[in-house]
């Protein structure tokens, strides 16, 4: 664990510090049902991770956006693209007076596609924006306030039923637009936990989300800041290729085998 290489362990086994680790056949959540003590020992030091990242990067002030609906639009458009491209698409929508659910519902699909083209996959994303806008109108009369008053577990299932909205997008909407206590799992989160040996590359989204939510239950502010800090680490240090673990605020945990 002194390098950035991913552990290829196949079962629950002691680390070099004698602590059990989750593996391909046992997620932490599944292990909890049969061996709670192993889970207590096996959990990653998330509080230490958070403090190290916060000390290194400072507050991130996420999510960038002027109001709840713009945050939702950003969460949908950011799929499979960079934020710079999302900003261009949002600027197009703002300049056309289309940063409102009612306006997006009424605008012709072809025009909406042209406006969000900078974000990539523009045909799909235009349909997703229309699908969400129609959902908001049909379920909540177009009111984001009413939507976000819905209990988290209920609203999450409703969002996941909207065409084109998956777990990461739904959780981004819940956390950043609605201030609901959910943790957003993205590629950066997975990469960090894989490199530190806590999950495998095939770990289920809900299992990874559970790792954070059981550690900081209901802590919306912590979820917000922690996810943003992980993104910062992923972009600048924990890169998919040519990672710079030695300079990363979490580098010392690799050396310590955690």
- Domain 68-177: top CATH class: mainly alpha
Its pTM stands at 0.84
Domain ranges of the chain: 13-43+185-255, 68-177
Residues 6 or more apart whose Cβ sits within 8 Å of residue 73: 65, 90, 93, 99, 129
pLDDT for the residue 258? 87
pLDDT at 223 over 50: yes
User: What is the spatial distance between Cα 182 and Cα 82, in angstroms, rounded to a whole number?
Assistant: 23
147-191 tens-digit pLDDT: 999 999 999 999 999 999 999 999 999 999 999 999 999 999 999
User: What is the spatial distance between Cα 156 and Cα 68, in angstroms, rounded to a whole number?
Assistant: 16
Banded model confidence at residue 38, pLDDT cuts 50, 70, 90:
low
Proportion of the chain above pLDDT 70, given as a percent:
84
Distance of CA 68 to the CA centre of its chain: 17
Q: CATH fold of 13-43+185-255, please?
A: Endonuclease Iii, domain 2 (1.10.1670)
User: What is the spatial distance between Cα 205 and Cα 184, in angstroms, rounded to a whole number?
Assistant: 9
pLDDT for the residue 66? 85
pLDDT at 5 over 90: no
């Amino acid at each position: 664990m002194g390098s950035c290489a991913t552990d290829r362990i196949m079962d629950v086994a002691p680390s070099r510090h004698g602590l059990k680790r989750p593996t391909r056949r046992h997620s932490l959540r599944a292990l909890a049902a049969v061996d709670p003590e192993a889970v207590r020992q096996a959990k990653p030091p998330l509080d230490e991770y958070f403090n190290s990242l916060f000390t290194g990067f400072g507050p991130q002030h996420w999510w960038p956006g002027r109001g709840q609906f713009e945050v939702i639009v950003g969460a949908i458009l950011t799929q499979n693209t960079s934020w710079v491209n999302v900003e261009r698409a949002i600027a197009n929508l703002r300049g056309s007076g289309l940063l409102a659910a009612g306006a997006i519902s009424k605008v012709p699909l072809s025009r909406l596609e042209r406006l969000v083209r900078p974000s990539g996959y523009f045909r799909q994303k235009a349909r997703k924006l229309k699908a969400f806008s129609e959902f908001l109108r049909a379920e909540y009369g177009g009111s984001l306030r009413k939507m976000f008053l819905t209990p988290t577990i209920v609203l999450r299932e409703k969002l996941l039923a909207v065409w084109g909205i998956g777990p990461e997008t739904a959780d981004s909407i819940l956390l950043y637009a609605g201030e609901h206590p959910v943790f957003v799992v993205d590629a950066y989160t997975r990469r960090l936990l894989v490199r530190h040996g806590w999950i495998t590359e095939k770990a289920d989204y809900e299992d990874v989300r559970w790792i954070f939510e059981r550690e900081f239950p209901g802590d919306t502010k912590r979820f917000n800041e922690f996810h943003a800090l992980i993104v910062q680490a992923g972009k600048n240090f924990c890169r998919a290729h040519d990672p710079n673990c030695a300079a990363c605020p979490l580098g010392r945990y690799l050396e310590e085998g955690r």
